[in-house]
Amino acid sequence: LAKTTQPISMDSYEGQEVNITCSHNNIATNDYITWYQQFPSQGPRFIIQGYKTKVTNEVASLFIPADRKSSTLSLPRVSLSDTAVYYCLVSGNTPLVFGKGTRLSVIA
Amino acid sequence: DVKVTQSSRYLVKRTGEKVFLECVQDMDHENMFWYRQDPGLGLRLIYFSYDVKMKEKGDIPEGYSVSREKKERFSLILESASTNQTSMYLCASRPRTSGTVNYGYTFGSGTRLTVV
């Protein structure tokens, strides 16, 4: 069973910031939090990973509170091409277990 | 960039056939994984391998086997294909996790297998 809970779907207009929150109440000490993006008929693509506090790269930011029981993926100024399914995963050395993800639809 | 290449993008096979799905990665990764993805069910782990000659069952290994004779290649084998194995198959790889460093997975583009 996936160790995370995230919304099934979200809608956003182009140019808005999108925040997708994921809860992982049973995260273990050695678990990292990783987010993937998947377009139709493609494999998931790694977006960002963090352990605690805040991580930022050219694509997104990841906010992790001190208790690490949740995390928020932030996508700045989304465009139509950001329409995809976003997966939140926690894992240490064990294989990734995917949940259903969040289907983000960006509307013009 | 790490590349994970799956030999076929689309494949159609007959029921009862033995099917080989090939996956090759070019970055010397120790860990390799096979998932299948079905609508409404998400990605499910079939088998994985932490190194050459090693294999571990995932959540749904029934009807499948794997082979890892070389580090760069991880093959998924459907011993006798059945219609319920019609699915998108995704291969992934990553380096061995070391200490506090945790690496992301790199996925291939997938093989859409139809069993008729």
Q: Determine the residue type at A39.
A: F
Cβ atoms of A33 and A71 within 8 Å: the answer is yes
Backbone dihedral angles phi then psi of residue A92, each to the nearest 5 degrees: -110, -105
pLDDT given at position B95: 82
Among A35, A98, A102, A103, most B C-beta atoms within 10 A, so best to mutate, is A98
Q: Is B45 on the interface with A (CB under 8 A)?
A: yes
- For residue B38, give the 3-state DSSP assignment: strand
Cβ atoms of B94 and B103 within 8 Å: the answer is yes
pLDDT given at position B98: 62
Given a cut of 70, is residue A1 above it in pLDDT? no
pLDDT given at position A3: 80
pLDDT tens column, B11-45: 999 999 999 999 999 988 899 999 999 988 889 99
Query: Residue A32 is encoded by which pair of tokens?
Result: 């990292």
Query: Residue B108 is encoded by which pair of tokens?
Result: 């291939």
Query: Could you tell me how many CB contacts below 8 A there are between chain A and chain B?
Result: 50
Where do the H-state alpha helices sit in B1-116? none
Query: Residue A40 is encoded by which pair of tokens?
Result: 């139709």
Hey, which residues 56-85 in chain A have their CB within 8 Å of chain B? Answer: none
Given a cut of 60, is residue B100 above it in pLDDT? no
**Residues contacting B22, CB < 8 A, separation 6+:** B6, B7, B8, B73, B75
Backbone dihedral angles phi then psi of residue B9, each to the nearest 5 degrees: -85, -40
